[in-house]
Amino acid sequence: MLSPPSVITGEDYVVHTRPSMAILEVNLLFETMPLLVTLHVHS
């Protein structure tokens, strides 16, 4: 699994990560081809 996007700022490299959020993932097959649908819910 990939890490969430992060932003590095300043000379001392302070790392700010994105806040946690609800994620819905659905894996499907469409004519034998994989299809991944992902919904990120921001509040």
d(CA 35, CA 43): 26
Q: Contact 8/15 with Cβ under 8 angstroms?
A: yes
What is the Rg, in whole angstroms, of the alpha carbon atoms belonging to the chain?
16
Is this model's pTM higher than 0.75 or not? no
Dihedral pair phi/psi, residue 31, rounded to 5°: 50, 50
Lowest mean pLDDT among 8-12, 31-35, 39-43: 8-12
pLDDT tens per residue, range 24-39: 889 999 899 999 888 8
Tell me the sheet residues that pair with 25: 38
Coil, strand or helix at 9: strand
